[in-house]
């Protein structure tokens, strides 16, 4: 969360339209939250004192908590600071009943964490087939083990991941050492303690406080925990080669970014270089940050990175990197040149100008109309609720951005006609994507700061085909994070990644839904597992889900 530099002018942004233009796109979304049974309301704890952690909002997770085959909803919340012995608000879990209806299962599940929670990261840490939950918190993280019946137990202290007084934003699961267990990378925002670091930023003469910028906050080392395979974790940050101390950390994404079969890490930092760690495959990483081309914008400036995603947007088989940033910093798309090298190609893809006025948080690269090309969505919100009193022309609520990928060559803003949500203004922070109603298209869930969420059912009616893949690792972690998928259909090969940690503070549908465009036939599906194993499906049926199990033997 970047803010104005102390003493800087409060002049209006260079570009400050009152709404989003753009051409009508193919998308249609309906917010079903009011009739869904989801009555969650986020609490940031923001007060006129503008205590730093209350700026950044919280995330949401889509996962099958109870094993019934439907994606449930789990929302994170903050609280008033400093935390009391009994914080008022709690995280909330809602069971998916089907038909767009949900029921509060928080008390029964044991997931009613009360503290200050930013992020939710889901992964099967014990490979038993049940998703477990890690919470990135201000004040110390939490880890919940799934018992397989929709109930969870908190094991953070016993597992060795709880660090009192830490401030974490997001996390990503990955098997960095190729032992078949999910390890955990935790992105730390900084060192902020009350009242020690409660400083005044804003207009002192008028006594109008604003949130302080990140450079006023001491940075801390992010943490990589190795999964010991017995329910405990060991801090291996330095020995693995990821122990940098120069990043105010927000989101991280774990995926194979250079195509060598190993799971890498890319981390969005706020006004600091974005980290790129390329996995050697021997339990260590190469720090490629400075040489990567993905640490700074095209002019060599550090941007206010918050949300992040990775996907092949131009069809060349190499995943691009997408970062959301602060106002007057465009959201950045780094084109993948191969071998761990990237270039800022934002303007070339048409993503720069429209994003300049807004403050971007969660983001996804996902094919929302099943045409075979990943589209883009960004959740936006101003940081300060009193920015207008300091002369800033853009209000507190901001419009989201919805971009249509036009055949891999460029994006076009497509808010117009996409539904009331995309034509309005909101306080969007955490953003998750998944097929909540199992109808073969991707829905969106957005956690709003200090308000109810949006549950956006995808009603796009494009006549496109799809196939869904449920990957089950055996030698690789059961979640198969780091796997690469190639779908040959309609004369092209569509590339998709099995990832963890993307967007911001949120977790997503673990199944891979691949849009096929107008092709009614899939020639072949190839899955390249983190272990090095390869699976193929010849002529699989379209319009259905295929479970693909990693071979236990063979190359």
HEC profile for 405-459?
ECCCCCEEECCCCCCCHHHCCECEEEEEEECCCCCCCCEEEEEECCCCCEEEEEC
Residue 35 burial class via C-beta count within 10 angstroms: exposed 0-12, middle 13-18, buried 19 and up: exposed
Q: Tell me, what's the pLDDT at 462?
A: 87
For the segment 162-170, the average pLDDT, to the nearest whole number, is: 97
pLDDT bin (cut points 50, 70, 90) of residue 1 is low
Q: Tell me, what's the pLDDT at 553?
A: 83
| pLDDT, tens digit, 9 for 90 and up, residues 261-300 | 999 999 999 999 999 999 999 999 999 999 999 999 999 9
Q: Tell me, what's the pLDDT at 86?
A: 79
pLDDT bin (cut points 50, 70, 90) of residue 536 is very high
For the segment 56-83, the average pLDDT, to the nearest whole number, is: 97
Which of 250, 341, 313, 275 is closest to 497 using CA atoms? 313
Top-confidence residue, 18 or 23: 23
User: What CA–CA distance (Å, rounded) separates 9 from 302?
Assistant: 20
User: What's the token pair of residue 353?
Assistant: 């100008």
For the segment 342-357, the average pLDDT, to the nearest whole number, is: 97
HEC profile for 6-51?
CCCCCCCCCCCCCCCCCCCCCCCEEECHHHCCCCCCCCCCCCCCCC
Cβ neighbour number for residue 86 with a 10 Å cutoff: 7
Cβ pair 150, 136 in contact under 8 A: no
Residue for token digits 């599906």? 525
For the segment 1-20, the average pLDDT, to the nearest whole number, is: 40
pLDDT bin (cut points 50, 70, 90) of residue 43 is very high
List helix spans (H) across 163-236: none
Q: Tell me, what's the pLDDT at 394?
A: 77
Element (H, E) at 266: strand 264-269
pTM for this structure?
0.96
**Is the torsion defined by CA of 206, 207, 208, 212 positive or negative?**
positive
Of 2-6, 417-421, 513-517, the poorest mean pLDDT is in 2-6
User: What CA–CA distance (Å, rounded) separates 39 from 256?
Assistant: 38
pLDDT bin (cut points 50, 70, 90) of residue 226 is very high
Q: Strand 512-517 relative to strand 465-472: parallel, antiparallel, unpaired?
A: antiparallel
Q: Tell me, what's the pLDDT at 392?
A: 75
| pLDDT, tens digit, 9 for 90 and up, residues 294-335 | 999 999 999 999 999 999 999 999 999 999 999 999 999 999
User: What CA–CA distance (Å, rounded) separates 131 from 519?
Assistant: 34
CA atoms within a 13 Å half-sphere pointing along the CA-CB vector of 269: 28
pLDDT bin (cut points 50, 70, 90) of residue 13 is very low
- Which residues on adjacent β-strands are paired with residue 125? none
Strands (E), 183-244: 183-188, 202-203, 208-209, 223-227, 233-235
Q: Tell me, what's the pLDDT at 29?
A: 98
Cβ pair 535, 463 in contact under 8 A: no
User: What CA–CA distance (Å, rounded) separates 436 from 377?
Assistant: 17
Q: Tell me, what's the pLDDT at 2?
A: 57
> Above pLDDT 70, what percent of the chain?
96
Cβ pair 46, 211 in contact under 8 A: no
User: What's the token pair of residue 341?
Assistant: 């090298």
Please check the confidence at residue 160 and state whether its pLDDT lies above 70.
yes
Cβ pair 426, 381 in contact under 8 A: yes
Query: How would you list the strands of the sheet with 401-405, edge to edge?
Result: 360-366, 375-380, 401-405, 411-413
Which of 287, 296, 404 is closest to 342 using CA atoms? 296
* Terminal C-alpha separation, the chain: 45
Neighbouring residues of 18: CB distance < 8 A, sequence distance ≥ 6:
none
Residue for token digits 């102390």? 6
Q: Tell me, what's the pLDDT at 31?
A: 98
User: What CA–CA distance (Å, rounded) separates 82 from 436?
Assistant: 36
User: What CA–CA distance (Å, rounded) separates 542 from 539?
Assistant: 9
> What are the Cα distances from residue 318, in Å, to 154, 312, 336, 364, 486?
38, 5, 6, 17, 11
Neighbouring residues of 99: CB distance < 8 A, sequence distance ≥ 6:
437
User: What CA–CA distance (Å, rounded) separates 192 from 186?
Assistant: 17
> What are the Cα distances from residue 201, in Å, to 51, 62, 213, 248?
10, 37, 8, 18
pLDDT bin (cut points 50, 70, 90) of residue 6 is very low
């Amino acid at each position: 969360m970047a803010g104005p530099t102390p003493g800087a002018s409060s002049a209006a942004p260079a570009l400050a339209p009152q709404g989003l233009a753009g051409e009508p796109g193919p998308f249609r979304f309906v917010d079903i939250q009011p009739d869904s049974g989801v009555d969650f309301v986020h609490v940031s704890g923001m007060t006129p004192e503008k205590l730093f952690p209350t700026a950044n909002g919280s995330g949401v997770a889509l996962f099958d908590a109870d094993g019934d085959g439907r994606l449930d909803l789990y929302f994170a919340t903050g609280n008033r600071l400093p935390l009391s012995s009994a914080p008022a608000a709690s995280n909330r879990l809602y069971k998916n009943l089907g038909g767009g209806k949900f029921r509060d299962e928080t008390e029964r599940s044991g997931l009613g964490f009360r503290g200050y929670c930013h992020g939710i990261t889901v992964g099967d840490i014990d490979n038993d087939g049940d998703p477990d939950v890690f919470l990135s918190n201000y004040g110390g993280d939490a880890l919940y083990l799934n018992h397989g019946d929709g109930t969870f137990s908190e094991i953070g202290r016993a597992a060795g991941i709880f660090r009192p007084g830490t401030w974490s934003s997001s996390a990503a699961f990955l098997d960095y050492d190729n032992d078949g267990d999910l390890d955990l990378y935790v992105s730390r925002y900084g060192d902020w303690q009350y009242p020690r670091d409660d400083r005044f930023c804003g207009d002192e003469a008028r006594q109008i406080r604003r949130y302080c910028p990140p450079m006023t906050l001491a940075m801390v080392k992010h943490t990589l925990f190795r999964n010991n395979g017995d329910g405990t974790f060991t801090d291996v940050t330095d020995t693995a080669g990821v122990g940098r101390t120069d990043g105010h950390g927000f989101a991280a994404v774990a995926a194979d970014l250079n195509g060598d079969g190993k799971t890498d890490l890319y981390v969005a930092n706020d006004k600091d270089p974005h980290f790129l760690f390329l996995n050697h495959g021997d339990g260590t990483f190469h720090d490629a940050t400075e040489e990567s081309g993905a640490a700074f914008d095209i002019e060599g400036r550090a941007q206010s990175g918050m949300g992040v995603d990775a996907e092949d947007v131009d069809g060349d088989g190499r995943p691009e990197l997408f970062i959301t940033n602060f106002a007057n910093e465009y959201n950045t798309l780094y084109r993948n040149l191969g071998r761990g090298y990237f270039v800022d190609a934002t303007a070339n893809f048409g993503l720069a100008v429209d994003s300049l006025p807004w403050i971007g948080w969660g983001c996804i690269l996902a094919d929302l109309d099943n045409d075979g090309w990943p589209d883009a969505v960004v959740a936006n919100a101003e940081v300060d609720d009193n920015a207008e009193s300091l002369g800033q022309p853009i209000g507190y609520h901001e419009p989201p951005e919805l971009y249509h990928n036009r055949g891999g060559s460029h994006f076009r803003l497509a808010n117009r006609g996409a539904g009331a949500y995309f034509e309005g203004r909101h306080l969007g922070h955490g953003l998750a994507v998944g097929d909540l109603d199992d109808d073969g298209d991707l829905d969106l869930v957005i956690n709003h700061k200090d308000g109810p969420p949006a549950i956006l059912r995808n009603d796009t009616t494009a006549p496109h085909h799809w196939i869904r893949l449920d990957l089950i690792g055996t030698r690789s972690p059961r979640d198969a994070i780091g796997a690469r998928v190639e779908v040959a259909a309609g004369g092209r090969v569509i590339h998709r990644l099995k990832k963890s940690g993307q967007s911001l503070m949120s977790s997503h549908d673990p199944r891979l839904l691949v849009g096929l465009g107008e092709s009614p036939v899939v020639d072949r599906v190839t899955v390249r597992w983190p272990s090095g194993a390869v699976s193929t499906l010849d002529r699989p049926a379209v319009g259905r889900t295929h479970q693909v199990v990693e071979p236990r033997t063979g190359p």
